[in-house]
Structure 1
């Protein structure tokens, strides 16, 4: 349609769309949100809506009261939505239209509404900025007010950024064009993650009034810039956020860092299918509150590093384990707690609903019972008891305000009325009484006037023209007081009004609007009163969340017969009868085969684990990582005993997955991930490697695996390494290096009644190398056709018969000879600082010649 042919309404629509070119515009007309033209075509197809037309313009619409259902679907499709509402009640004389404006832009990272959010999930918006050799980021959860920044000036590969993003799992990332390109090429991002391009930071460090001064940020200016970019983005979607959000600097090095591969392969918060069900978080989560569930997830992804802090959490969990009455009493109290964090953010931004206030009131009515609980069981968590006592007076005041002000069962919207409790405000009570008893009020005033004037025939009436009036017959005209004002003369009577009657009329006729305005005003006063105490209320939410997590972990410990681990600053990881909690949960009770671990001491730094597939190698690797995470987050662990030195990083290379979308093969992904591990490891790291090198030819794979083990090995200290492999050639490394030990998964071969050879997995990790891989047996178990496995056995027999031949012997010895060659020692001893370029080139040529010979 040509612009000149647009109706005033369509011009208003397209003018609004022009201001927000990247959003789906929900344009309010009556009881519907409408979309027009190309956007109508796109959205009708996406949502399955009927496409109609208005004056030849394609259009589709959705009922405003059902908008949230459609908004969720659009957000999942990567769309952003602008809510355009009528903002005036006065029609423009020229256009004959009411003013309409976009009052809210909804994006995946800026949700606040409970109807659009998962109560158990945090919903993060992240701003990222690339630096010459690193990055900066800001992370905000607008529904709870959580806001922090971080900066890393020495992470050119973005590996630590990838780990940080994996732990946060943002819904939306905003960044400039160049940064987004780096993220896409260097980091595997979730497929459903929304990436929003924004202009690069312009260098304007004008800070909001409630933020710390610029001088307080020191060398973290880039991270501060990311925070400002977030605030500028939020100012478009919801300007009131600036009153709530104040960033703090979070040092990620104070937490155990779990790389993105470990988060995924260990199924910490999502199963391999991408669902919460089947994850460690879902297994552990026995919390009663939404704040508790989110806190548990945060602890899983950010375990602690300080043994003293860990001990505080452990002692609280132990306190509940040893006192089940404390657990039961508190559990009953927490069932009445609403999502305080999110309610308070909506309160501070002025968007909290009457139902929010009701939920907060009911939550705060638990304050005194919780105070009594602390009096009896404060020893379970002394520091939480002290914190609660500090905030208790303000919390009691807020509970009293909400109880006095908010009705028992308020409606969803203020405009529906009866939000404020009867008796809270005398003026409101009078208006409600007038509205409910208008006829009686008129009769009462009429009766008073009869008695006062002596006019026995005086009566009250109403017309749409004159309003309410007193009617006096002609015989009583002489008794009419001087303050009566004549409004109408009839044949046999006169009609009068008084100031009191006029005021009463005004109250009755305008009571509805006045009630709504007064209730809104009183409700806003309550919201502002609460917003002024937001720090106390958020502290209450955090106390509730931590108590809830302690109870949940105590229930896990009791159900699974877990033990309290000793966590110290040593380097050893030791546990007895350790189990993998997720695998154990899927098996019949008592059928999981536990295993022991002792690594990180002076005797063992690297465990080489050989044995057949399906024998339990991967489960053993994963359970070690999960036991470490549980211990450092303050939980009990699935073992009969455990002693663990603090780990700073858990890095894994488990399982094969391609990144074909980025042009990388399985082997390239494997090498990239292994390269990241070797570059990022520290003496306190825990490294889990499963079948590294299998994505290429056998000799290449063996050589790479051998080289990796040698690179990881340290005569003293060094990272703790669990290396599962099928390359039996690697077992010779035990003879070469004092702190490398061979282990194997136990399997037993036996003959069934028909004389067929069968394999039984015993799932035990025992010292010593495996002598066979049992690959053909595993293939039989997997269901390969008998003809296929019979042929495989014949080929294997022929190959084993050739082992003694000259060619096979050479092939078998090739790798061992390479890594025992004097050339390796010469390379180690070469003083590269003293070598000239020509001398170095001559050495390389000499080494190459000798290797070829």
Structure 2
């Protein structure tokens, strides 16, 4: 993104008197103080095209106030950031930033002296920053780092407040507090920034900012960048870090990803040559040793990621080795990006969560459980014993025979996003009220099972559940210790001083000074009573102004001349005496010192809590596990769901009365089906049928049942027997890639080529109507060749091959033990009506029945009748052409000279067939 010059960035406007808030802090932005006004007139902004043009034309360069100079300097230091600068009770944006914020936030943009300006109230800062980063912007917050009273006591009283960048945010690095309300689609969703690097391999490193989870990988990839696309589809990063030197293949994959996810933010980072040296500067201890063991491409990705997040102060997560997880896990099924999309596991084709398999499975009560369930769905298990363990746990929670299991549902209620809360504590961002919420929630959880000290104490008949219940008490002692040191009511009020009953020496000294201030106020009140001859006189406070002395209007002439009039009504006039003015300033300084001391105490306490991250994280992981298992237990209790039998052995799949888990919820008359692949049954099915007959839905249902079984869920079947599948690969749906300049057929051919290269005997392959997008003969021939390439393998994968090319039925005769033909039955009622029975039966279909479906779609009857006549004519020509071909073969002698004439005759017949 090119950076504008200052002259282009800051839109000049006519001089305009600034608005001054009641506390006077914004007066620095309206007019410089008298002693600095002369100096301000001599100072101009750094030269730019705009100021140079003004000089050439004879126009005077703009004269900036000290505050404007300060904002210009901040913007020059951070040119690619939309800056919000704290000025009094407002956050101010200037120049092009003001115009951008005005458009996005729907707020006013106006000229204030030399700069276009937009402002928002400080209390609404979080709301507006979240809206800005959602539009892909990098937003910086510049805070006043001086307080009014302490600044007034220094020699710099007439200068602008010191300001500096205190917060930097993007869509992936903005962390809501745990009480923030989120949309349904966002609950439990990841907030990931991902770095890509290339050496001999492609490397990635990603941080889920909300939870602190770190994912890494290194892999060799093809020109299509299928492996990279798969990782992007699984992780769904909101921000991508790309080095300067990146191959065109990788850039093309990134462009394809951002075309589908237009709100993804791209950040370009500088290349790094000395990776190991830089890692030594960024890491230490066991974390450094772990990262140095990774592949060079992964190390480079970590350098880019940690360097970038350093500006956001979000690097503390990298110090905890427990947060690291390799993306490539040999113990999980491979589901590439195409499969995730084609089976609508996490998002529908419209980009919604509702209607997906995840939405159907999601009965979780906590955000942590939702994340865990989503992770299980992305990576189903591969080992039969681990699948059985998880199924045992689900069944255990379903029947709840053990007494302790009846407590889990109530424990999971009203638990906030503890993973996000722990991350905010680790980053030093948690407010006292958030800290109190996290500690109280952990205290309740850790005391749910006070008598369980080890897995042997749980007695639930499931080792997985036993371990999780035992882990709930991992942080019991440390959480209780932290709670003993703070006052919850004061923490709820974000009182960083009052929340600590035992204060530091600095805080105690400040409290003593404030007590002395109050004593002086009391002593001065006695003097005021004597002056006014009012022995019962008391201080009053109005509109936040303290220690006011109210005098009846009739008694005002008797007040001393040096008393300062503050406010009045018809009956009374309120004053501050010179002593009260002096004492108020002194008290305000002591209060600000006390507040600073409270901040230091709270920051120290927060760091101490963060040191217990591992124990508290163990509790949160146990909650996530139990919540996700409980969600699957709720699914297992649905009518028609059974426990699958997953065993090692020769690859096979046998489903009885299987159903599509999502589609069956939308209809009251869902038709179940049976399927058998592998073992004694053929390994492949040639699936034909009418348009709209349900072929694709049936194939998806089979794949979804396999995924459910291997993620440890009960399945919508009467019976399910299978061996673990190492992958499910799909080629379904028709779409092009205009960004890459690829046609629909090119995309399908590339995806099919990848499947042919990577499928194993343990893989399930779904190919839906491969061969469309080109001529009928080419499509049929390619589909025939692709299917035969699977059938000819000594140990083929399980294949569901959906097609309208009936010529492929010849392969059933050629490979009777490996391939069988099935179709979805229909019932024809006259020339215009068809009933889809959705029943899977043996044999090839009668045809595609496109004319019937065309009528259902609303095409005019006359048009369809014309099409029927044309189809009949084409069929007659085709029969005649093939008859001529057979005649030529029968009547051509096999001698060498006539053979050439026979080949010529065959070529002519082929041309007739092609024309037909």
Interval of TM-score (by shorter of Structure 1 and Structure 2) = 0.7 to 0.9
Alignment match of 1:250 (pick from 315, 323, 326) = 326
Where does residue 265 of structure 1 map in the other structure? 342
* RMSD value, Cα: 3.9
CA deviations over 1:624-648 (Å, ceiling 9, x no partner): 2211111111111111111221112
Matched, 1:580 2:657: no
Distance 1:528 1:37, change over 3 A: closer
Alignment match of 2:162 (pick from 86, 96, 99) = 99
Counterparts of 2:219 and 2:904, CA distance in 1: 44
State the Cα distance separating 1:436 from its structure 2 match.
11
State the Cα distance separating 1:519 from its structure 2 match.
4.4
Partner of 1:22, secondary structure, is coil
* Superposition pairs of residues 557-596 of structure 1, within 5 angstroms: 557-570=636-649, 571-588=651-668, 591-596=669-674
Check the 8 A contact 1:146/1:245 in 2, yes or no. Answer: no
User: Which deviates more, 651-660 or 794-803?
Assistant: 794-803
Alignment match of 1:601 (pick from 659, 672, 679) = 679
Distance 1:717 1:326, change over 3 A: farther
Partner of 2:715, secondary structure, is coil
Where does residue 854 of structure 2 map in the other structure? 779
Counterparts of 1:628 and 1:124, CA distance in 2: 29
* Superposition pairs of residues 680-699 of structure 1, within 5 angstroms: 680-699=758-777
Where does residue 615 of structure 2 map in the other structure? 536
Unaligned runs of 5+ in 2: 1-11, 13-44, 47-60, 526-534, 541-546, 548-582, 890-902, 909-916
State the Cα distance separating 1:777 from its structure 2 match.
1.0
Counterparts of 1:676 and 1:406, CA distance in 2: 61
Check the 8 A contact 1:405/1:424 in 2, yes or no. Answer: no
State the Cα distance separating 1:518 from its structure 2 match.
5.4
Where does residue 392 of structure 1 map in the other structure? 473
Where does residue 405 of structure 1 map in the other structure? 486
CA deviations over 1:92-148 (Å, ceiling 9, x no partner): 84981222111121122223223497331011111111234x311111112211113
Partner of 1:656, secondary structure, is coil
Where does residue 330 of structure 1 map in the other structure? 408
Normalised TM-score (structure 1):
0.81
Partner of 2:215, secondary structure, is strand
Partner of 2:870, secondary structure, is helix
Counterparts of 2:595 and 2:382, CA distance in 1: 54
Alignment match of 1:162 (pick from 222, 229, 240) = 229
Counterparts of 2:888 and 2:393, CA distance in 1: 57
CA deviations over 1:660-692 (Å, ceiling 9, x no partner): 122222222212222222222222221111111
Where does residue 611 of structure 1 map in the other structure? 689
Where does residue 565 of structure 2 map in the other structure? none
Where does residue 173 of structure 2 map in the other structure? 110
CA deviations over 1:255-284 (Å, ceiling 9, x no partner): 211111111121111122101122111111
CA deviations over 1:387-422 (Å, ceiling 9, x no partner): 65367364233134226514147446446x75x277
CA deviations over 1:758-789 (Å, ceiling 9, x no partner): 21111112221112211111111222222222
State the Cα distance separating 1:651 from its structure 2 match.
1.4
* Superposition pairs of residues 129-140 of structure 1, within 5 angstroms: 129-132=197-200, 134-140=201-207
Alignment match of 2:368 (pick from 270, 291, 311) = 291
Counterparts of 1:630 and 1:288, CA distance in 2: 20
Matched, 1:69 2:127: yes
* Superposition pairs of residues 416-565 of structure 1, within 5 angstroms: 420=499, 512-513=591-592, 516-517=595-596, 519-565=598-644
Counterparts of 1:421 and 1:73, CA distance in 2: 35
Counterparts of 1:170 and 1:152, CA distance in 2: 18
Alignment match of 1:127 (pick from 182, 186, 195) = 195
Partner of 1:257, secondary structure, is coil
CA deviations over 1:543-575 (Å, ceiling 9, x no partner): 000000010000011124311112223311221
Counterparts of 2:505 and 2:292, CA distance in 1: 51
Counterparts of 1:241 and 1:215, CA distance in 2: 16
Where does residue 192 of structure 1 map in the other structure? 263
Partner of 1:338, secondary structure, is coil
Distance 1:104 1:804, change over 3 A: same
User: Which deviates more, 399-408 or 548-557?
Assistant: 399-408
Matched, 1:761 2:761: no
Counterparts of 1:95 and 1:217, CA distance in 2: 53
Counterparts of 1:699 and 1:251, CA distance in 2: 42
Where does residue 142 of structure 1 map in the other structure? 209
CA deviations over 1:681-704 (Å, ceiling 9, x no partner): 222221111111111111111011
User: Which deviates more, 790-799 or 507-516?
Assistant: 507-516
User: Which deviates more, 715-724 or 364-373?
Assistant: 364-373
State the Cα distance separating 1:215 from its structure 2 match.
7.9
Partner of 2:642, secondary structure, is coil
Unaligned runs of 5+ in 1: 447-457, 469-503, 815-847
State the Cα distance separating 1:293 from its structure 2 match.
0.7
Distance 1:379 1:795, change over 3 A: same
Counterparts of 1:732 and 1:601, CA distance in 2: 23
Alignment match of 2:723 (pick from 637, 645, 657) = 645
Distance 1:306 1:619, change over 3 A: same
Alignment match of 1:53 (pick from 83, 105, 111) = 111
Check the 8 A contact 2:130/2:174 in 1, yes or no. Answer: no
State the Cα distance separating 1:166 from its structure 2 match.
0.8
Distance 1:93 1:530, change over 3 A: closer
Distance 1:657 1:509, change over 3 A: closer
CA deviations over 1:364-388 (Å, ceiling 9, x no partner): 2221114458888542542453465
Counterparts of 1:410 and 1:298, CA distance in 2: 35
Normalised TM-score (structure 2):
0.76
Counterparts of 2:470 and 2:342, CA distance in 1: 42
Where does residue 382 of structure 2 map in the other structure? 305
Where does residue 28 of structure 1 map in the other structure? 86
Counterparts of 2:596 and 2:796, CA distance in 1: 70
Check the 8 A contact 1:593/1:763 in 2, yes or no. Answer: yes
Matched, 1:659 2:737: yes
